Amino acid sequence: METTGAEIIIRSLQEEKVEYIFGYPGGAVLFIYDELFKQKKIKHVLTRHEQGASHAADGYARSSGKIGVCLVTSGPGLTNAVTGIATAYMDSIPMVIISGQVPSHAIGLDAFQEADAVGITRSCTKYNVLVKRVEDIAPTIRKAFHIASTGRPGPVLVDIPKDLTAQKTTYSYPKGALKIRSYNPSSAGHRGQVSRAIKLIKGAKRLMVYSGGGVILGNAATEFTRFVKKLKCPVTNTLMGLGAYPATDKQFLGMPGMHGTYETNMAMQHCDVLVAVGARFDDRVIGDPAHFSQVARQIVHVDVDPSSISKRVKVDVPIVGEVTQVLKSLNEGIAGNMPSTKDMDAWWEQITKWQNKNCLRYKTKPGVVKPQQVIEALHKVTGGDAFVTSDVGQHQMWAAQYYKFNKPRRWINSGGLGTMGFGLPAAVGVQLAHPGAAVACVTGEASIMMCIQELSTCKQYRLPVKIINLNNRYMGMVRQWQEFFHGNRYSESYMDALPDFVKLAESYGHSGVRVERPEDVEPALREVFARKDELVFMDFVTDQTENVYPMVAAGKGLSEMVLAEDL
């Protein structure tokens, strides 16, 4: 029996056990939406903008470990989703995006709502393809899910012309293991390199371990924690790796990099053996590579993507493979726990001296709400167990610094692309993936305005997200950089004519709370998080002049941090 291309798409997604599709309908995908309407297995979530759909699919994927699926129409539907696709690509998030395309005969003729989806997304997808025959739809979707989730994960785009969704053919979904020529990601690390790594680690005098988002995405947090415990050494998680190792453990020094802690950056700079796992030495982590390389150290780098190794710094022992498999090999190769040595004791004494700087200390002011205080109270009220999404800016860094993430997949943010507008739609995906869980969106008044229409999505699907708006009436991080590097010339960074966020939330059918006094911060959070069945928009009116410290300026080295004035 023959079936239409649209039905083949839906049946293929059912084969992949897709639970949610985040999307927005349009002319080129109407046959697909008609098939969605006829079935009950897959739930469609109607966002209010295609960017929101792609971020929601992203948030769902990051928090659940499953593949996020997004469905958009041709032309502006696809281009609106590109920011979300690029966000997922930069952070290696597994997603499948299905875009409608104008009919085959109209491609290349500037037809209504035509855009070159494959050309536009070539640089921000792991793989993309225009389907040209209805018979190819099912095998292409099978291939898309395989590529999105294996090796280094990433978004895959499948562009399908409208006429194919109406054409008919016999449905058959590929079964069994999929083999693709020239695509064979490595799983286990090279034995010889693993042995070399173990020898280096055992001989270290100032050992440091550093994890990134690869540990989270590879579901390797348990094996990673076991590894660090064996070594008894200091450890740091990057912004993308927060939760890979428990933040409240004494071996954890805090986040590294531009807004990392003093002790972490000093330890990263002065260690003699550095073990990097699922991290890529990006500019926000190590600062200036030349400065970083001034200190002689041996580097072991574990990553599933060979192109990430020795990309920015020279690596001594490269190990290509899935991080869980490689960590198992390393743990097996290190019999028992590493013994304490005089050298390592001296290393920890040095680190304790750096920790005594207490670099995250901040000054309070009577009558003024400090943003750090809000995040600390959020951690206390939620017991550190909430899923926290964020937008991008100062609030993102304060959330990363002061909310102590002890579990993987709890911290959901746009690390690589730095996308303002990510937080709220990502929270939509997180809340759907984890109904009943506490989900907090930490944002700022500038970021939340970029995708604020998704408050409507939250209302339609009754999502009880708690929005923590750190409202300082500035694009805070822009203002901070203008203060530091542009002579206090705050060019266009002031947010004038802001809405009344409480009334705005109420206009969407939600509740709103404004907090303006420090003594009200924790009680307000307790009262709001007790309201488990409703979205509450919390507008915290915070100190306008507060800056994020420590800070490593662009182009500077890790040991050239700027600390708060009183430190």
d(CA 540, CA 2): 58
Sequence-separated (6 or more) residues with CB below 8 Å from residue 275: 197, 201, 207, 208, 209, 210, 299, 300, 302
Sequence-separated (6 or more) residues with CB below 8 Å from residue 540: 369, 371, 374, 468, 469, 470, 471, 515, 521
What pairing do the DSSP bridges indicate for beta strands 536-541 and 511-515? parallel
CB 209 within 8 A of CB 275: yes
CA 88, distance to chain mean position in Å, is 8
> Of 90, 268, 397, 477, which residue is the catalytic one?
477
Q: Up-side HSE of residue 539: CA atoms within 13 Å toward CB?
A: 18
162 is a catalytic site residue = yes
Backbone angles phi, psi at 155, to 5 degrees: -80, 140
> At 119, which amino acid appears?
G
> Of 162, 328, 370, 466, which residue is the catalytic one?
162
CB 260 within 8 A of CB 563: no
> Of 50, 322, 376, 454, which residue is the catalytic one?
50
Please name which of 94, 58, 48, 23 lies closest in space to residue 422, comparing C-alpha atoms.
Answer: 58
Structure tokens belonging to residue 304? 């599933």
d(CA 7, CA 16): 14
- Is the C-alpha dihedral spanning 428, 429, 435, 438 positive or negative? negative
113 is a catalytic site residue = yes
List of E strands, 450-521:
466-471, 511-515
Is the omega angle on the peptide bond into residue 550 within 30 degrees of 0, that is, cis?
yes
328 is a catalytic site residue = no
Q: How many CB atoms lie within 10 A of CB 3?
A: 15
Q: For 136, which DSSP code?
A: G
Q: Strand 43-46's sheet: what is its strand order?
A: 43-46, 20-23, 68-72, 95-101, 155-161, 127-130
> Of 2, 14, 17, 112, which residue is the catalytic one?
112
Please name which of 265, 263, 274 lies closest in space to residue 296, comparing C-alpha atoms.
Answer: 274
Sequence-separated (6 or more) residues with CB below 8 Å from residue 486: none
> At 243, which amino acid appears?
G
484 is a catalytic site residue = no
Cα distances from 84 to residues 81, 244, 439, in angstroms, run 5, 24, 20
Structure tokens belonging to residue 106? 């109209």
> Of 15, 66, 113, 135, which residue is the catalytic one?
113
50 is a catalytic site residue = yes
CA 107, distance to chain mean position in Å, is 35
Question: What does the angle CA 221 – CA 551 – CA 243 come to, to the nearest 5 degrees?
Answer: 10
CB 127 within 8 A of CB 88: no
d(CA 168, CA 8): 9
- Catalytic positions are 50, 112-113, 162, 477
